[in-house]
Amino acid sequence: MVSVTLISYYGIIHHMAKATLIFRDKQVDLIDGSITEMVIWQLEEPVPGSQHRFKYRLFYGFPDRPVVRYDNETGKGDHRHIEGREDAYAFTDEKRLVEDFLADRRRLGGK
């Protein structure tokens, strides 16, 4: 367990130390409690598993239940989680990433 934690910690520190935050938005719906958060960084070099110089995490769901999540975790590359299922995601650019995420959020009940 310690070695897995150290590897994950190294990946975060190694790549994020060279990152520039280019977009961050967080919204909490006060009526239904849902959270939408989008964070995108630009890196000096691609995250292992991705072909571009962006690191991102986009989330829609509830504190106890994620509904949609897009990310490019070190070693896994670009992918999305929709209602517990993980699929590869074909990243083209950051604008399209946000558009695709918001379309999935709307499709699954988000505003």
The per-residue pLDDT for range 19-50, each reduced to its tens digit, is 999 999 999 999 999 999 999 999 999 999 99
pLDDT at residue 16, rounded to an integer:
57
Note whether 88 and 100 are within 8 A (CB).
no
pTM: 0.82
Number of domains observed in the structure of the chain: 1
Rounded CA separation 85/2 (Å): 27
Pick the closest to residue 60 from 6, 4, 108 (CA basis): 108
Pick the closest to residue 8 from 100, 76, 68 (CA basis): 76
Domain that holds residue 94: 2-107
Three-state SS string over the chain comes to CHHHHHHHHHHHHHHHCCCEEEEEEEEECCCCCCEEEEEEEECCCCCCCCCCCEEEEEEEEECCEEEEEEECCCCCCCEEEECCEEEECCCCCHHHHHHHHHHHHHHCCCC
Calculate what percentage of the chain has a pLDDT beyond 70.
85
